[in-house]
Every structure is written in structure tokens, then in C-alpha cells.
Amino acid sequence: MPSKRKRKKSLNSNPAPGNKYDIDPARLPVHVAIIMDGNGRWAKKRLLNRVMGHEKGSESVRIVVRTSREVGIQHLTLFAFSTENWERPRTEITALMKLLNRFLKTERNEMRDNDIRLQAIGQIDRLPEYVQKTLLKTIDLTKDGRAMQLNLALSYGGRTDIVRMARMISRESIKGQLTPEAITPDLVSSYLYTKDLPDPDLLIRTSGEMRISNFMLWQIAYSELYITDTLWPDFDKKEYLHILKQYQSRDRRFGKIKD
């Protein structure tokens, strides 16, 4: 059976007490990943422009980030923009990039004040130059955060991640620096965008769609999945806390038989 990937070193901080919400701090997921889906449908139901759905969805991002920090989640990864999203109408892409840029600027001080470190995974070089500059500046301003790490998956795709890994390992093999026997699950993980992250313990998808949409195909091998019908702009603190409690009732065996 596949082996469970070794957990990366935890952030150097004491997490906020989760039992304020009847949550066991000792059984919190270390890494929560979220596929934020449903912004467009939320807007369509209200006869609004899709961009309005994305703007409303940014409020849910703030709620989830703050709640994660409050209860003691160490790593939070948000699937913000996929490689496939580049195929959307140019006007929508432009609006999304402006929204991302504004979010980074308005939230960087709160992240720094709350000891949150920002990182990004994906093809960052494909983002508009002005967004890249804002992103890198925000990453630098929050680099000392130790309470929680917020990871934004931007221009990210699971297949692209794996192809990139395969190319890098192939180059090392051609140079004679790697033998076939040296290629292990841990080695593969070390060449992915998420090399410095533990695998997600919990993957949440909003909007009720029963698919993972090319997100972290390697990393979620043993993640607990939670699908909610709630559209992302309507996803609130109460539901997030409910999902965390549900996670704590799961029996995670990683393919093994419980003694």
C-alpha cells in the first residue's frame, strides 16, 4: 500500500484554543485546502454580473482566513485561480486579477498583525506584472508570520504540477544525479510546488460539485473530503466550524486496518 507522506515541521507558534467552539485543538487538521466554487452561480441567481460574485466571495475568504487563525489551523490553502481559468473571457480574467491585487493590498497589514505568513503556489510568472509585484511584496511583508501560513494557489493545476515535477526529475536523471531507485514518494513530493507544505488533511469543496477540478492531485491522496452545496459567497464561519467538527469525527486509517 502507498505510504503516508511524512508531515512537515509545524509552524513555531501556539495555536489559538479551539475548544472555544467545542473543537478539540489536538485533533484539528494541520492543513485545510479549499476549492472555492460557486461565485458565478451565486451572481447568476441574483441577476448580477459574475464579477459581483467574485467580489462577494472575497468576503468569505476573509472569514475563513480569520477563523482558521482563530481556531489554530496551521496551513490554509485556497484554490484561487486555476490554469484552466485562463480560458475564461478576458474581461472576467482582468476583473479577477484586479480583485486579487486589491485583496493583497488591503489584507496584508491584517495578515502581518495576526502573525500570518502568505505564500503562493503555481505559475506565478503568468500573472500580470502588477499582480506579481503586489504578491511578492505581500509575501515579503508577512514572511515572519509564525501562527499560520496562508497559501494561494494561483495559475495552479495538479497536472501541470506533476508534469513540472517529472521534467525536473528527468533532467536530474539525465545528468546522472538521480537513479530510478532513488525516485520515491517523498522525492516526488519534494519537487512539487507544495514541497514545503504537509499534505492537506481536509479538502473542502463548495457549490456541491462532485469533482476535484485538477487540484493537488498528488497531495490529496489521503485527504478527508467534504462537499457542501453552499455556494462560496454564502460560506460562513458557522458552516466552516461545523465542517471542522465533522472532520474530528472521521477515522483516518491511511489504508491501514485499525488495531
- Predicted pLDDT at 2: 41
User: 27: which residues sit within 8 A by CB, 6+ positions away?
Assistant: 248
- Predicted pLDDT at 17: 52
User: What distance in Å separates the CA atoms of residue 12 and residue 117, rounded to the nearest whole number?
Assistant: 12
Q: How far is CA 19 from CA 72, 224, 242, in A?
A: 10, 21, 13
**Domains along the sequence of the chain with CATH:** 28-157+200-248 (3.40.1180.10)
Specify whether 12 is catalytic: no
Element (H, E) at 241: helix 237-248
- Predicted pLDDT at 259: 62
Asked if 4 and 198 count as a contact pair (C-beta separation under 8 A), the reply is no
pLDDT means over runs of 10, the chain (259 residues): 45 54 93 98 96 97 98 98 97 97 97 98 98 98 98 98 98 95 97 98 98 98 98 98 96 74
Specify whether 196 is catalytic: no
Active-site option among 37, 161, 199, 201: 37
Any long-range contacts for 12-19 (C-beta under 8 Å, 24+ apart)? 12/146, 13/115, 13/146, 13/147, 13/148, 15/71, 15/72, 15/73, 15/74, 15/147, 16/69, 16/70, 16/71, 16/72, 16/147, 17/72, 18/71, 18/72, 18/244
Nearest alpha-carbon partner for 121 in 157, 147, 93: 157
Nearest alpha-carbon partner for 15 in 60, 67, 80, 62: 67
Active-site option among 49, 85, 114, 214: 85
